[in-house]
Structure 1
Amino acid sequence: MNPAGRTTEELLAEVARLRSRDLPVRGGQVTAYVYDTGRAEVHEAAARAYFELLEVNCLDPTAFPSVVELERQVVGAVADLLGGGHGIFTSGGTESIMLAVKAARDAAHRARPNLVLAVSAHPAFHKAAHYLGVEVVAVPVDLETYKVRARDVADAIDENTIMVVASAPSYPQGVIDPVEEVAAVAAAAGVPCHVDACVGGWLLPWLRAAGAAVPPFDLSVPGVTSLSCDLHKFGYAPKGASVVLFADPAMRRKAYFASAAWPGYTIVNATVQSSRSAGPLGGAWATLQALGREGYLELGRATLEATVRLREGLARIPGLRVLGEPESSLVAFAGDGIDVFVLADEARERGWFLQPQLSYAGIPANLHITVTGVTLAGVEDLLKVIAESAEAARERGPVVLPEGLVELVAATDLEALDEADFAELASSVGVDLRPEAGQPEMATVNAILDALPAAAREAVLVRFLSAVYAT
């Protein structure tokens, strides 16, 4: 920290320098993490509204009534699109899911509560379960369709089940679970059913309007009791903006937290956070207002066309195959005779980011692409890069790990290593964690992670994150 302070110009120059190695957030060359309409004026409107509400605190809606009106409008728009319900504006899908699990747990009053979900369900449910003392009961997906089977969900439900989960779509392969069937078996067992539509909630209705075959998935489906929908994904709002809807207002109240056991100010929270900026709420409201129904419909048409062209183009590239039949704009492809982790590094060298996904539960390692409103303008460039990268990966061949390396990593007590020791271990496999080293090639790292069991992967990832942030 500078003792004398710094000027705005100096600060912004420093931010620009720090961002120089970041992936670009506009233009469509980063096919995960960011969502781009391709419309600068929409993002500008959202940014200005975000700034106007930056210092407004959502902690006390009686002090800042603008928060109440903005949230009513945003939640109301989501409810109107997704079958009604009573909602809460949250910071993102993880918090929306956390609140849905909390509400179900508190309503059920089970001594040993559990949550039934597919192996393809988002890890946010595992995180919520970890924080809230709930056991996860994971069931397999069909390895042809990558969807959960309702009969497997039914078999997993027991007297301690507080909720079952269906995804619309599941993130890894972009397919929609059979929501009607899963909700029916949940209802028959007297158990709430949550639909994770964090990705699809503000996408699937517009794809349907553009002509896609989208099955019923929202709160209009009998047996669906709650639903999460992220507006900072296909709503194109700034991070973090999400809504969790409950069919029953009594269940929404179960998501709240209040405490009167202290002599200070009144504590009643609708979200996990207490103090939080209203900036994201303002940004979400402005984005919805700026685009309107026609804007989202146009983006839906462009997204659908880009997804179709991407899938058709991938089918023409030797050695690549799309996994399942994606019903959204999330597309995952695996390689036959091509190491997809090497392909991802090759694409990165060409200026494009493709998201690696590790193998799990019989699903092969693959690369994930999120198609957004801006993708259509560059879909042919994307396919050209994938084809070139696939050919380069075929020529390079797969990653060959030193004999015994995976066993060594699996057997290492990572907790016994300090940050310097772990950094040295990472360096031995080609990953230099020093800030000045830049972006390493990740194929070897991903190959090692892919060969490890899930628990060992998690231990390595925790140490990696800790080393990255070490001072």
Structure 2
Amino acid sequence: MNLPAAGRAAEELLAEIARMKAHDLPVRGGQVTAYVYDTGRAEVHDAAIRAYVEMLEVNCLDPTAFPSVVEMEKQVVGAVADLLGGGHGVFTSGGTESIMLAVKAARDLAGRPDPVVVLPVTAHPAFHKAAHYLGVEVRAVPVDLETYKVTARAVREAIDERTVLVVASAPSYPQGVIDPVEEVAAVAAAAGVPCHVDACVGGWLLPWLRAAGAHVPPFDLSVPGVTSISCDLHKFGYAPKGASVVLFADPAARRGAYFASAAWPGYTVINATVQSSRSAGPLGGAWATLQALGREGYEALGRATLEAARRLREGVAAIPGLRVLGEPESSLVAFTGSDVDVFVLADEARSRGWFLQPQLSYAGIPANLHVTVTGVTLAGVDAMLKVIAESAEAARGRGPVRLPDGLVELIAGMDLDALDDATFAELAASVGVDLRPEAGGAGMATVNTVLDALPAAAREAVLVRFLSVLYS
């Protein structure tokens, strides 16, 4: 970006933004089945935007300077606590930050050398990120390959004197199933170890599905042994991005998440989150969304979501060559193919205007496509199933991606650090991958096939280079 010599008019800037967004996936309407959450209610979205802008310039850094932050956060955190069994909470920027604070609090309160967090292989990578930043070792345990849930026995066997935290998911993102929280928490409690429930997806969804008639097992702070839980409001709370809550059963644990520093001659530093200065815009947007929908609104969205998820599961199961993985207890649905390359299917769906999220194979779980069902999905579930069926048939006709002989071995053995970004982009182009943002995901079946054939460490190295090229 070149800084203009003179300021530009707002209308001109908005037109420029519209141009830049021309190749973005749509954030409304339900055709993008990941990353965005849509109520289908324009008035709720409008209320959130107006509140977000109203709080945009308020700084959460010093709540004594801006008491509105305290009042608003106590209301938002209180609503989450009321729904999830009580506790003492912090409003954060998202699930990753909520999880990072939970890991920090557990690490600091335990005070053990070489701390370890025990979690299922299906636990969100945010735990790996938190562990990486905080100097904690991750000990991943397998899940049952029929149910995709972790077992209490596997968790028990992984706990030792170095363990500072045990994790369960409600639900796990990949297949939308709920780990046996009661059993896992009991095992953790017996070992004297805290248990965190990652309900970033399910925290503000599962209670409303339960109210709509779904069977939802206990998973929150009311479960003995559960000591903390994370819940994203920018997912099924439908708030603007940057809104999550982490709850602790014990206020001492919440204090363990805080950071204070007096070792300098400047202003007093005390932070409840990883960030210091942060806009109160997301807090205002979350508060307004909760107020605009209310209990009745969320109950109605829960009923619509439950029905849409049921119809999607049944509809996918009826398409030849496709099967749903596990028995999803939430509104996250993953499916794989027998005679259909799911990565090619995703490309076909993308060409028809629909985004289905590819998931790579790992730990015995096959490559699959993921769909997040939201409040707006019910209105378009038949259209989605039609696209999935058409895309599956087209993918079957195209056949699976055929990689050049030796390509995977070449990449696996390559010193990627020895390549500059331009050379890496040329390598991608040689196998038909266009890394330009405006390419609209062209050739992603090839990318995903290559990644799927690589071990995790090599996948990560390639992904880092992809990101570097995109921003070069």
Answer yes or no: same fold by TM over 0.5. yes
Name the CA distance, whole Å, in 2 between partners of 1:335 and 1:348: 17
CA displacement at 1:437 relative to structure 2:
4.5
Q: Equivalent residues in 2 for 1:382-461 (5 A)? A: 382-435=384-437, 437-461=439-463
Match of 1:254 among 248, 253, 256: 256
Match of 1:289 among 276, 288, 291: 291
- Aligned residue for 2:334? 332
CA displacement at 1:436 relative to structure 2:
5.3
CA displacement at 1:435 relative to structure 2:
4.8
1:226 matched to 2:249: no
Name the CA distance, whole Å, in 2 between partners of 1:27 and 1:410: 40
Q: Deviations over 1:264-311 (max 9, x none)?
A: 000000000000000000000000000000000000000000000001
Name the CA distance, whole Å, in 2 between partners of 1:187 and 1:42: 41
Match of 1:211 among 187, 193, 213: 213
Match of 2:238 among 226, 236, 239: 236
Match of 2:117 among 107, 115, 119: 115
CA displacement at 1:423 relative to structure 2:
1.0
Match of 2:38 among 26, 36, 59: 36
1:71 matched to 2:73: yes
Contact 2:23 2:438 in 1 (8 A): no
- Aligned residue for 1:61? 63
Q: Deviations over 1:101-125 (max 9, x none)?
A: 0000000011100000000000000
1:188 matched to 2:195: no
Equivalences, count: 470
Name the CA distance, whole Å, in 2 between partners of 1:137 and 1:385: 40
- Aligned residue for 1:23? 25
CA displacement at 1:126 relative to structure 2:
0.2
CA displacement at 1:441 relative to structure 2:
2.2
Name the CA distance, whole Å, in 1 between partners of 2:153 and 2:126: 24
Q: What's the TM-score once normalised by structure 1's chain length?
A: 0.99
Name the CA distance, whole Å, in 1 between partners of 2:380 and 2:294: 24
CA displacement at 1:440 relative to structure 2:
1.6
SS at match of 2:23: coil
SS at match of 1:391: helix
SS at match of 2:64: coil
CA displacement at 1:55 relative to structure 2:
0.4
Residue 419 of structure 2 aligns with an amino acid whose one-letter code is L
CA displacement at 1:432 relative to structure 2:
2.3
- Aligned residue for 1:364? 366
SS at match of 1:20: helix
Aligned sequence identity (%): 85
Name the CA distance, whole Å, in 2 between partners of 1:282 and 1:454: 39
- RMSD between superposed Cα atoms in Å: 0.6
Compared CA separation, residues 76 and 367, structure 1 to 2 (3 A):
same
CA displacement at 1:419 relative to structure 2:
1.1
Name the CA distance, whole Å, in 1 between partners of 2:436 and 2:251: 50
Structure 1 runs of 4+ aligned residues shifted over 2 Å read 432-439
Contact 2:208 2:298 in 1 (8 A): yes
Match of 1:466 among 444, 465, 468: 468
- Aligned residue for 2:325? 323
Contact 2:203 2:232 in 1 (8 A): yes
Contact 2:361 2:367 in 1 (8 A): yes
Q: Deviations over 1:423-471 (max 9, x none)?
A: 111111212224554532210110000000000000000011011001x
Unaligned stretches of 5+ residues in structure 1: none
- Aligned residue for 1:83? 85
Residue 310 of structure 1 aligns with an amino acid whose one-letter code is L
SS at match of 1:390: helix
Q: What's the TM-score once normalised by structure 2's chain length?
A: 0.99
SS at match of 2:103: helix
